[in-house]
Structures are given as structure tokens and as C-alpha cells.
Structure 1
Amino acid sequence: MKLKRLGAPLAVLAAAAISLTACASNEGSAPASTSAAPSNLSGTLNGIGSSAQGAAQTVWAAGFQEANPKVTVNYDPQGSGAGRKSFISGAADFAGSDAALKAEELSSTFAGCAPSSKGIDLPVYISPIAIAYNVDGVKDLKLDAATIAGIFSGKITTWDDAKIKDQNKDASLPSAPITVVHRSDDSGTTQNFTEYLAANAADVWTAPASQTFPFQVGDAAKGTSGVADATKNAKNSITYIDESGSAGLSIAQLKVGDEYTKLSADGAAAVVAASPIADGREANDLAIAIDRKATNKGDWPLVLVSYIVACQEYKDAAKADLVKGYVDYIISEDAQKAAAEQAGSAPLASDLASKVKDAVASIK
């Protein structure tokens, strides 16, 4: 069955962690109006990957299938690492990933791509990563990068530690152990989180940036929904999570430069807009080198850019047409707006959207 128009709450969508095929009837509230151009496309498109993209993929699949009733889009939010592995093996037609393909992955043979063709990274989703917490009576928690690094590396173990108290003099911090919640699966969110800490608190965060959480501390849970549920169910807990999954949790302010900044999609988008395309990639690979040390007013450098990973050239030309049609729709103004309304993401800046559109056109 084809997913048509769904508006289920994000928490339910995340907890279900389902493939995005659903009922053909219009159930629940509809996503924001979209305007994908009707086409003669037909077939099934299978994607696996980022759980952070999950809610946005629900909206995108609905809008695309509405305009292309002969197409079924399936998306399984298993996590970024699983998505890239599935794409490389040919088990998925595209991956959703919160981290660009690594050098060792680019050296792989991509089973669904034409011989000698590789995957390319197409940015489609920008979202702030929240430092979310569950501590009774504590609102507007303020944290700098060094303190976050100390908490998540296990060096700061109680909520009334002086490093936390010094930044939150008016807060009633409990004398209680901190329960750290982190991702158990290889995760692009973890990659972006650890990149931020490695860039801003290298003297405390001694591990390199990684898609695997590097320290033996706290509790591990799978996917965006998993860490959200674990944090909600554990008092005095804290996690890092895509903003789309943070409903029901308190969100800390982040020290950026000399000021504490509240999380915002606009602040995340501003950092991405000012960041360059990474060096050393293929012409149509648009991996972004995020400026993790951005300090302009309102900036939120703890941000993830999530990609659609697709073949530059597919073995199956019909599959290439489906991927091109779908990604071209995803980066449209209407689709980006619909995702922002449903998932709290930031629409692509027009110049970045234009670059992605050109890259999509090059897919064969």
C-alpha cells in the first residue's frame, strides 16, 4: 500500500520505526500542501537510514506519491550507518545519512551503481542537535562545550558538579548522579555531536569524532526514538538528539562565543549556509564541512546536515529516474517547508538547493 497523507505525531512515528509505506486513505491531519509535478514515473523506491530524517521522509513520501500515484516510496529509519551499508550492498536504492560517505566507504564497490560509479552525498535536511535532559525543577539549563564533553565522557558525574553550577547559579540542581543516554547504533547524529566536541573541547573530549559513541558511560539506546524514550524514562538523565525527536524533554542552552544561545533551526541553517563544500570530493558530491566553531549571534554549531546518498550512475536506468524524481521533489520549496513544519528542520538555503538540483540532474 502507498503512503498518502499522514500527520501522526513525531513521537509515534519515531517509536514505531516503521517503513514508510502506509494506508492509501487520507488518515489523520494532512501534511503541509505540496506541489510535486505529476509524472509518468512508476515503481518502488527503497531507502534505509537516518532516524533523524524519519519524520521528514514521512512528509516527503506522502507528497511525492500524491503526485506520482504509480510510485511507492519505502523508508526504513534504521540509522545512518545501517543506511550506508545497505546502499553500498545494494539492499537499498538510496540511503539517508546524517554523515557523508567516508573515504573507506567511497573505495567500496557499490552494488546498485554502474561499474566504476560511486555514491554521492546530496544534502536535503538541516537540523539542530539538542542537548535534551530530564531533571525535575530545572529549566533553562546552560552548558558550554567543555561541560558537555565532561558529562558525556564520564568525567562529570553529578548534577551539582561545580562546572555545571557555575553556569547555572539560579538553578536548583540535585545532588544526584547524571544518567548519560547515548546512541547504541552507528549514528550520523553521534558523528556530528562528537565532531562538535572534538572541535570545541579537545582538552576534555579526548576521542576522535566517530559514528560510534566512544566512551563506556551511561545507557545506550537505538535510534532517535530510542534515546528519546530512554531519557524520558530516566530521572536526572541527559542525551544528544535530533531536535525532531526532543518533544517532551527540556533543551539546554549552548554557549556560543560569549553568550548562551537557545536552540533554533534558523541558527543551525545559518551555520550550514556559511560552511563550505568539503574538499577532495567528486564534482557532484556535496558533503559539507560544517564550521563547528561558528560564533555569530544566534548560531547553533551543534548541527547536522543529513544527506540522500545516491549513485552517480545506476545500473538500472529506471531506478535512476525514480531517485532523481524523488530527490528533486525533496529539495523543492514546498517539500522543504512541509518538513520544517513537521520535523522542525531548517529549509535548504536557495543557493545550496540550486547546487543540489544541479547534482541531481547529473544522476544517470
Structure 2
Amino acid sequence: MTSTSIRRAIVPGIAALTLALSACGAANEDTGSTSAEGGGDLSGTLAGGGASTQQAAMGAWAVGFQGTNPDVTVEYDPIGSGGGRENFISGAFPFAGSDAYLTDDEGELSDATERCGGDAPIQVPSYISPIAVAYNLPEVDELKLSPQTLAGIMAGKITTWDDEAIAEDNPDADLPSERINAVHRSDESGTTENFTDYLTTVAPDEWDAGVVETWPTEYGGEGAKGTSGVVQTVENSEFSIGYADASQTAELGQALIGVGDDFVEPSAEAAAKILEASPEAEGASDTAVIYDLDFATEEGGTYPIVLTSYLMACQSYDDAADGELVKAFMEYVISDEGQDQAAAEAGSAPLSDSIQEQSLSIIENIG
């Protein structure tokens, strides 16, 4: 297995986000992670990357993990889910974060299996969060959008804020006759895949591009790179709307989305309910805890536009030090403390006890 310095050479031009920590992290003494409990036994640099949605949570996890492992530096490059999977498969990253699980639609699962020495890669959920529909609409404090209206906006079919479809969802709002600037991810994104999966499921007549990781250019709108790019673009442009991890859109308006007869806000509690009602994906196995979310749910109080972000790793590593660091860090992330840390710092919904237990039993076997 290659060293960290070689990994950086494989992905030139990528400036890794170093989630290093000062001595202040020492307050988090009890990580709840089996491998991390010894404290100070581990050393080295663990460099991964992927989904930008996990960026805030990764910062929190790095602080907690490094509190009992001060000789470890955790680096996470938020280059997007597609980039994370690509660099994991190439061997550039020993672990990756992705808002979409591996499949063989484009051969990624087979490629990852080959990269992991012929063993199926580990895939476990680490982060559950609502995808907020964030908007910058002066004088409109509350915006309600039915699935069909939202799909029409993002497909470029509803182009002004006072369109009758938006007005019907918001009869008491003073909607301006301004053109809508619909903002989307310009990079390959698991958030886009989850968002378009939702649109395809609930409004196929309005959104006919199917489930995609790369935004269809024929639908127009303004592209922005990464979660932070979408948020900044919406913040800086009045009359804009876009989709992004809810934890990073707190300064913007967040639309209430139609579910049955209700309109539901993007809270962690409302997002967590959808996973409880969702089936395991067809490719779920004894190394892959993966789900197909029930975006069409009409269960009251459930926010339907949700992403489940996964951590990906190999079952074994040629470099034992890589395996030891990956195992210890992933155990911390899935632990009670790790999940509580992400909930507090990034607004995510903690994993259920059963998913947590199943995931930890898989991680435990990393060698």
C-alpha cells in the first residue's frame, strides 16, 4: 500500500482539508470506540475524502478522535462523492465518504472489490441528514413547496416566483414577479443523486431526466461546485433557490416540503424517520449496510428529501498501519460519542441502535 505522500501525488491539484486539532480536543477523553479507548497508541496521518456534505461532521469527528489519539492527523478532502469513490478505488484514499453507495451501474463496485484485493468493500452509513431546499427570497419568511412545484422549478419549467403553482402552495405569501435562479451542483455529486432520486420518484412528469449525479445541462440554472458553492451562490443572489445539506444552510430560508397533506421542515428528527421506513438496497450484504430511501412516504412528520452518507473502506490493507487507523477512526465515527458529536456540530440524525450495532460488527473485522 502506498504512503500518504504518494497518495497526494496521485491526486494533484487537490488541496486537502486538514482537520487537525490542537490540545483543546483533549477534553473528549472517552470516544466510545474500541480501538481508540487506549488513547495515544496510534500515530500517523489518515487521509481520505469525498462527500462535501460530511465536511462539518468530519471536523467534529476529527476533534473527538484526536482527543484520545493526539499523534494522529485526520485529513478529509471534500471533493464530492464521485471524487471520493474514484480516489478510493484508485488507492489514493484508504477510506472515502459518499452520499451514494457503490453499484456496478458503471462498474464501481467491481473496481472497488479489485482495489480491496478481491474482497467486497465495506460500506456503512455514517451520516443521515436532510437535504434542504434553501432559498433567498426577500420578504418571504416561509415558503411551502409541493413535490410537483419543486420539480417544476428545478427543471426550469417554473421560471418566476409569482407563478400560479408557487402561489397555490403559498396563498398568504407576497411573492415577487422576479425570475427564479435555480442553483445546482456543477460537480458529480451524491447529493444531486439523492435529490434527483426524490424528484424522479415523486414528480416524474415534471422531472424527466431520471436519477443523475451530474446535473442535466438542458434544464439550465446556475451551477456551483460543492455544497459550500451552492450555499454561497444562493446567499449572494437574491431570488435564488438550491439544494444542499441542511446543516450548511442555516442562514438561509429552508422550504417546507409537501408530504401527504402536510408541509414538513428539514429537521434531523424528521429526516431520521425516513430511514426507519426504508428497505435495504438490493446490494446489501454482510459488508454493506445500504438503503434505498422511501422518498414517496406520506408518513406525517417525515421529511422526504434525505441523504444517507456512507463511509467506504477495505476489509484488509497491505499496510497494517492504514488498516489500524481506518478501523479506529470508523469505530469512533459510528460510536455513540461520534454520532452525538456530529448531531451537535453538523445537525445530523444519529444512527439507530440496530444500524450502529450492525455497522460496528463489520468495522471490527478490518485487518
TM-score, normalised relative to structure 1: 0.90
The DSSP-based 3-state class of the residue aligned with 1:52 is: helix
Alignment deviations for residues 293-315 of structure 1 (CA, whole Å, 9 cap, x no partner) = 12211101200000111112222
* Equivalent in the alignment of 1:10: none
Partner Cα separation in structure 2 for residue 296 and residue 97 of structure 1: 27
Contact 1:153–1:215, Cα closer than 8 Å, also in 2: no
In the alignment of these two chains, the number of paired residues is 344
Query: What's the offset of the Cα at 1:134?
Result: 0.2
The correspondence for 1:146, drawn from 136, 148, 157, is: 148
Partner Cα separation in structure 1 for residue 283 and residue 112 of structure 2: 19
* Equivalent in the alignment of 1:249: 252
Partner Cα separation in structure 1 for residue 352 and residue 18 of structure 2: 27
Matching of residues 173-322 of structure 1 within 5 Å: 173-216=175-218, 217-322=220-325
Matched letter for residue 35 of structure 1: D
Partner Cα separation in structure 2 for residue 86 and residue 48 of structure 1: 8
* Equivalent in the alignment of 2:42: 41
Q: Does 1:353 align with 2:356?
A: yes
The DSSP-based 3-state class of the residue aligned with 2:169 is: coil
Contact 2:143–2:255, Cα closer than 8 Å, also in 1: yes
- RMSD (Å), alpha carbons: 1.7
The correspondence for 2:125, drawn from 117, 120, 123, is: 123
Alignment deviations for residues 1-35 of structure 1 (CA, whole Å, 9 cap, x no partner) = xxxxxxxxxxxxxxxx8613435343xxx799562
Query: What's the offset of the Cα at 1:109?
Result: 5.1
Structure 1 residues 223, 168: closer, same or farther in 2, change over 3 A? Answer: same
The DSSP-based 3-state class of the residue aligned with 1:53 is: helix
Show structure 1 runs of 4+ deviating over 3 A: 30-34, 109-112
Structure 1 residues 31, 48: closer, same or farther in 2, change over 3 A? Answer: same
Partner Cα separation in structure 2 for residue 189 and residue 109 of structure 1: 21
TM-score, normalised relative to structure 2: 0.90
- Identity over aligned residues, as a percent? 47
Contact 2:181–2:221, Cα closer than 8 Å, also in 1: yes
Structure 1 residues 219, 172: closer, same or farther in 2, change over 3 A? Answer: same
Partner Cα separation in structure 2 for residue 340 and residue 141 of structure 1: 25
Alignment deviations for residues 190-212 of structure 1 (CA, whole Å, 9 cap, x no partner) = 01100101110011110111111
The correspondence for 1:336, drawn from 315, 318, 339, is: 339
* Equivalent in the alignment of 1:168: 170
From the two aligned structures, give the one with the greater helix fraction: 2
Partner Cα separation in structure 1 for residue 29 and residue 52 of structure 2: 23
* Equivalent in the alignment of 1:22: 20
* Equivalent in the alignment of 2:10: none
* Equivalent in the alignment of 1:69: 70
Partner Cα separation in structure 2 for residue 312 and residue 208 of structure 1: 33
Partner Cα separation in structure 2 for residue 206 and residue 105 of structure 1: 25
* Equivalent in the alignment of 1:83: 84
Matching of residues 89-128 of structure 1 within 5 Å: 89-103=90-104, 104-108=107-111, 113=116, 115-128=117-130
Contact 2:96–2:312, Cα closer than 8 Å, also in 1: yes
Matched letter for residue 319 of structure 1: D
Give the unaligned 5+ runs of structure 1: 1-16
